[in-house]
C-alpha cells in the first residue's frame, strides 16, 4: 500500500493541480493520479498538455502518447494558454454558488453581496461558470509571463494545499447540509488516506456525522445509513450536472431521512 501511495504521490506531483476534472476525474488531480497508477492512460490532463504527458510516460516507463487537445492555443512552454476567470461584478447577485464550486478558494464574497475573484489564485479551471445563475463570469487570457519550472512547482504545491483546505471545509459543510452543493462528489476517503500519509498536504479529517450527534448505532442502522448516503451521493452527482425538480425532491427526502436515522435535527 505504501509503495502505491508513493507512486500516486510522484504522479500527482507532475499534475498541474488545477483540479478542473477535464481528465474525466471530476474530483481532481489525485483521483486521476491514482487511476494512472492502476493503468489508466497518462495523456488525459488537458491543462498539462504534452509536457505532462511526456513527464508521466518517463516516470512510468511507458511509451509517450499524444496529449488530449485543449481548446486553447499552445503557449511557449508547450502547455495550453493559461486563463483566468473574472466576474462582471455589477451583474453578480451574490448567490454564493461559485464559492463552493471553486476548488482552490479563489472567490471571495458572502450572501447577497457582490463576489470577486482573486486573480492571482485563479487557475482558469472554469468550474465556477456553470453554477452561476446569471452567467456573469468570463474567461480571459492570463497575460502574465509563463512561469519557469521552479515557480510552477511552487504554484502547484500551493494549489494542492488550497484544494485540501477546500475539501476539508466542503466535507464539514456537506455533512451539515449548509449551502448549495455544486461541486462534483469528492472521494474524500482517498484524499483523507493520502493526506494522512503525506507531509506535503494538510490532513483531511472525515466528518461522518455532526459532532453533536453521538449515537450508538447497531449494524442495521449502519447499513441503513450507508444505503441512504449512497443514494444521496448518486443524486447529488446527477444534480451537479443538471437540475431536475423530481430528483431534488427525492434528495430532500433522503436528507430528511438521514437526519432522522442519525438522530440529528430534522
Ligand atoms: S489538472 Fe485537471 S485534467 Fe489535469 S489531472 Fe488535474 S483535474 Fe485532471
Ligand atoms: S475562480 Fe473559477 S476559474 Fe478560477 S479557479 Fe476558481 S472556479 Fe476555477
Ligand atoms: S455564482 Fe454568479 S451570481 Fe452567484 S455569487 Fe458567483 S458570480 Fe455572483
95 Cβ below 6 A of ligand 3: yes
pLDDT at 170: 78
47 Cβ below 6 A of ligand 1: yes
Task: Indicate the pTM of the whole model.
Answer: 0.75
pLDDT at 160: 94
Residue 5 burial by CB count (10 A; 0-12/13-18/19+): exposed, middle or buried? middle
Distance between Cα 231 and ligand 1 center (Å): 27
pLDDT at 238: 80
Distance between Cα 162 and ligand 3 center (Å): 21
Task: Report the residue among 85, 88, 94 best suited for mutation to probe ligand 3: largest number of ligand atoms under 8 A from its CB.
Answer: 94
25 Cβ below 6 A of ligand 3: no
Closest C-alpha residue for ligand 3 atom 7: 92
Nearest to 56 by CA among 35, 70, 28, 84: 35
136 Cβ below 6 A of ligand 3: yes
pLDDT at 176: 65
Q: What span, in angstroms and rounded, lies between the C-alpha atoms of 42 and 85?
A: 27
Nearest to 47 by CA among 76, 10, 82: 82
100 Cβ below 6 A of ligand 2: no
Closest C-alpha residue for ligand 3 atom 6: 98
Triad 199, 203, 208: Cα angle to 5°: 155
Q: What span, in angstroms and rounded, lies between the C-alpha atoms of 199 and 6?
A: 12
pLDDT at 139: 95
Per-residue tens of pLDDT for the chain, all 266 residues: 678 888 999 999 999 999 999 999 988 999 999 999 999 999 999 999 999 999 999 999 999 999 999 999 999 999 999 999 999 999 999 998 898 899 999 998 877 777 788 888 999 999 999 999 999 999 999 999 999 999 999 999 999 999 999 888 877 776 665 554 555 577 888 888 888 887 778 788 887 654 444 334 455 566 677 778 878 877 887 888 778 888 888 888 888 887 776 654 33
Considering every ligand atom, which ligand is closest to the CA of 120? 2
Distance between Cα 40 and ligand 1 center (Å): 14
How many residues in total does the chain contain? 266
Q: What span, in angstroms and rounded, lies between the C-alpha atoms of 236 and 221?
A: 22
Amino acid at each position: 500500500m505504501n509503495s502505491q501511495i508513493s507512486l500516486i504521490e510522484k504522479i500527482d506531483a507532475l499534475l498541474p493541480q488545477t483540479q478542473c476534472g477535464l481528465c474525466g476525474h471530476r474530483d481532481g488531480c489525485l483521483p486521476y493520479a491514482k487511476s494512472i497508477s492502476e493503468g489508466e492512460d497518462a495523456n488525459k490532463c488537458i491543462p498539462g498538455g504534452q509536457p505532462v504527458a511526456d513527464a508521466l510516460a518517463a516516470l512510468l516507463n511507458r511509451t509517450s502518447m499524444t496529449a488530449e487537445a485543449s481548446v486553447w492555443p499552445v503557449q511557449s512552454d508547450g502547455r495550453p494558454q493559461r486563463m483566468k476567470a473574472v466576474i462582471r461584478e455589477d451583474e453578480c447577485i451574490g448567490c454564493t454558488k461559485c464559492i463552493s464550486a471553486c476548488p482552490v478558494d479563489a472567490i471571495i464574497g458572502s450572501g447577497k453581496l457582490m463576489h470577486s475573484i482573486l486573480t492571482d489564485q485563479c487557475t482558469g479551471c472554469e468550474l465556477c461558470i456553470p453554477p452561476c445563475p446569471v452567467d456573469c463570469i468570463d474567461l480571459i487570457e492570463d497575460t502574465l509571463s509563463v512561469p519557469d519550472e521552479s515557480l510552477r512547482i511552487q504554484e502547484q504545491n500551493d494549489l494542492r494545499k488550497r484544494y485540501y483546505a477546500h475539501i476539508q471545509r466542503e466535507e464539514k459543510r456537506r455533512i451539515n447540509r449548509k449551502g448549495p452543493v455544486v461541486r462534483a462528489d469528492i472521494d474524500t476517503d482517498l484524499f483523507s488516506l493520502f493526506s494522512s500519509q503525506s507531509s506535503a498536504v494538510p490532513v483531511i479529517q472525515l466528518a461522518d456525522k455532526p459532532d453533536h450527534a453521538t449515537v450508538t448505532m447497531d449494524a442495521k442502522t449502519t447499513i441503513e445509513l450507508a444505503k441512504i448516503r449512497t443514494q444521496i451521493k448518486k443524486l447529488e452527482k446527477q444534480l451537479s450536472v443538471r437540475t431536475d425538480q423530481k430528483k431534488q425532491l427525492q434528495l430532500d427526502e433522503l436528507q430528511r431521512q438521514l437526519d432522522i436515522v442519525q438522530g440529528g435535527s430534522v
